[in-house]
């Protein structure tokens, strides 16, 4: 059955061509115009892959979202591919990190995160179609454009599409060692607001309520919520406060980043941050969650099944996890079996030396196709 791997290896140059086309179209999340050019390109590409329905969902401040479906009327429960095509690299990054192939690696902004994974996924779909081996169930592909900013525009669509799916496949990069990701931490972003009372620091300091002093005590309290041994981190990451050098400060705002491995731990943090009480008489302390991605908790059954399928196709599959989230966190938290890190191997995501190990493109296409065939 490893002839599938041989087949995809024979497609290496076509895969590199597609990756080149995609990386050459820069797609910084915040530049809707540029991202839409890549959406145009992919919409046309997906059309050539025979999707029966392609819906383009217009967006005003990020690139349009694509929802393609193959076999919409097939009887089985659907599978869902979750891919994003936005990158963290500002437009123009290509000039300082041009596309190049060197020592079996393909360099370029967004190559690893996650255009390489998109290439492997599309290649797998194309191959199964040509062989008449598409699963007898609907296959959804969501191409989103806001993952790198936490998926504010696509979250609802992702959840709605995933709701009746039997499996979500996320071709985000594999780990550096090439392992799929069977867990991801969840994350919550909070805004802490401390309100005190302003007064003249010379004439009437006793009339003020110093929001910075209140904040300092809250920051220490918040810091104690860290439980790094169990993967829980709570970090005060930004702070702003005060109005002038001779005024008792009336207000401080701060940003807090939280991460945890389990939904239980996330809920515990949420409760603790919601229960902060003022240390100074008259101060007001509020802490609100601005953004939230639930954790993708590890499910050993999913990894075992994926590893067994890989084995049948000559692939040894390893597992690991990540401190950062992906759109797979949403589907996993809904109880949808989710396989993440199915994309390219490589290193340097989000940095100037971002690159893909070229041999991993056919390998991951094989793994994805095998999962579609055998899950």
Taking alpha carbons only, the member of 135, 140, 181 closest to residue 372 is: 135
Toward Zn ion, which CB reaches closer, 113 or 155? 113
Q: Which stretch binds Zn ion (CB under 5 A): 37-45, 69-77, 106-114, 216-224?
A: 106-114
> Cβ distance 70 to 41 under 8 Å?
no
Nearest to 324 by CA among 296, 355, 354: 296
Q: What is the dihedral of CA 19, 23, 29, 32, to 10 degrees?
A: -100
Tokens of 214: 């209140």
**Of 82 and 256, CB closest to Zn ion:** 82
Report the residue number, 64 or 113, with the smaller CB distance to Zn ion.
Answer: 113
Residue 250 binds Zn ion (CB under 5 A): no
CB of 85 to Zn ion, least distance (A): 10
Q: Can you say how many angstroms the Cα of residue 158 is from the centroid of all Cα atoms in its chain?
A: 12
Instruction: Give the residue with the Cβ less far from Zn ion, 214 or 354.
Output: 354
CB of 171: closest distance to Zn ion in angstroms?
9
For 175, phi then psi, to 5°, come to -70, 170
CB 30 → Zn ion: shortest distance, Å? 16
What token pair was written down for 4?
A: 């599938």
* Number of chain residues interacting with Zn ion (CB under 5 A): 3
- Supply 291's token pair: 């953004």
The interface mask with Zn ion, positions 126-165, x = CB under 5 A, is ----------------------------------------
Distance in Å, CB of 84 to Zn ion, minimum: 6
Determine how many CB atoms are found less than 10 A away from the CB of residue 52.
12
| Residues between 163 and 182 with contacts to Zn ion, criterion CB under 5 A | 172
Structure tokens, 121: 């996924």
- Contact present, 259 and 233 (Cβ < 8 Å): yes
Q: Are strands 65-70 and 251-260 parallel, antiparallel or unpaired?
A: unpaired
DSSP string, 312-327: HTT----EEEESS--T
| Least gap, CB of 172 to Zn ion (angstroms) | 5
Q: Which of 113, 319 has the CB closer to Zn ion? A: 113
Say how far apart CA 191 and CA 196 lie, in whole Å. Answer: 16
Interacting positions 29-58 with Zn ion (CB under 5 A): none
Look at the alpha carbons of 225, 226, 232, 237 in this order and tell me if their dihedral is positive or negative. Answer: positive
Q: Which stretch binds Zn ion (CB under 5 A): 75-83, 111-119, 296-304, 338-346?
A: 111-119
Residue 196 or 325 having the CB closest to Zn ion: 325
Question: Between residue 190 and residue 229, which ones bind Zn ion under the rule CB under 5 A?
Answer: none
**What are the structure tokens assigned to 68, written together?**
């393609």
Q: Out of 26, 86, 113, 155, which residue is the one contacting Zn ion (CB under 5 A)? A: 113
Closest distance to Zn ion from the beta carbon of 106 (Å): 16
Q: Is 114 a binder of Zn ion (CB under 5 A)?
A: yes
Of 242 and 324, CB closest to Zn ion: 324
CB nearer to Zn ion: pick between 86 and 123: 86
Q: How far is the CB of 110 from Zn ion (least distance, A)?
A: 9
Cβ atoms < 10 Å from Cβ of 329: 25
Give me the least distance between CB of 79 and Zn ion, in Å please.
Answer: 20
Residues lying near Zn ion in the complex (CB under 5 A) are found at 113-114, 172
């Amino acid at each position: 059955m490893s002839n599938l791997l041989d087949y995809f290896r024979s497609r290496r140059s076509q895969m590199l061509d597609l990756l080149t086309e995609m990386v050459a179209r820069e797609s910084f999340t915040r530049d809707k115009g540029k991202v839409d050019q890549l959406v145009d390109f992919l919409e046309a590409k997906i059309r050539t892959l025979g999707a029966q329905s392609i819906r383009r969902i217009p967006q005003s401040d990020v690139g349009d979202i694509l929802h393609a479906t193959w076999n919409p009327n097939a009887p089985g429960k659907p599978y869902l591919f979750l891919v994003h095509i936005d990158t963290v690299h500002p437009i123009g990054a290509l000039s300082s990190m041009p596309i190049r192939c060197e020592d079996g690696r393909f360099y370029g902004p967004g190559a690893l995160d996650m255009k390489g994974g998109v290439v492997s996924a599309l290649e797998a779909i194309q191959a199964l179609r040509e062989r008449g081996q598409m699963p007898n169930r609907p296959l959804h592909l969501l191409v989103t454009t806001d993952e790198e900013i936490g998926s504010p525009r696509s979250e609802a669509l992702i959840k709605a599409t995933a709701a009746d799916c039997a499996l979500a496949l996320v071709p985000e990069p594999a780990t550096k060692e090439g392992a799929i990701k069977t867990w991801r931490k969840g994350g919550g972003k909070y805004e802490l607001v401390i309100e005190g009372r302003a007064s003249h620091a010379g004439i009437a300091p006793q009339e003020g309520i110093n929001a910075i002093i209140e904040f300092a005590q809250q920051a220490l309290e918040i810091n104690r919520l860290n439980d790094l041994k169990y993967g829980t981190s709570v970090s005060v990451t930004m702070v702003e406060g005060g109005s002038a050098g001779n005024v008792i400060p009336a207000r401080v705002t701060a940003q807090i980043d939280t991460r945890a491995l389990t939904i239980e731990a996330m809920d515990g943090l949420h409760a603790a941050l919601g229960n902060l009480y003022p240390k100074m008489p008259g101060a007001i302390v509020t802490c609100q969650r601005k953004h939230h991605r639930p954790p993708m908790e590890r499910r050993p059954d999913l990894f075992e099944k994926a590893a067994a399928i890989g084995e049948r196709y000559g692939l040894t599959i390893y597992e690991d996890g990540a401190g950062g989230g992906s759109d797979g966190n949403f589907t996993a938290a809904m109880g949808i079996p989710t396989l993440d890190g199915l994309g390219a191997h490589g290193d340097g995501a989000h940095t100037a030396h971002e690159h893909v190990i070229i041999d991993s493109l056919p390998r991951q296409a094989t793994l994805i196709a095998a999962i579609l065939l055998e899950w």
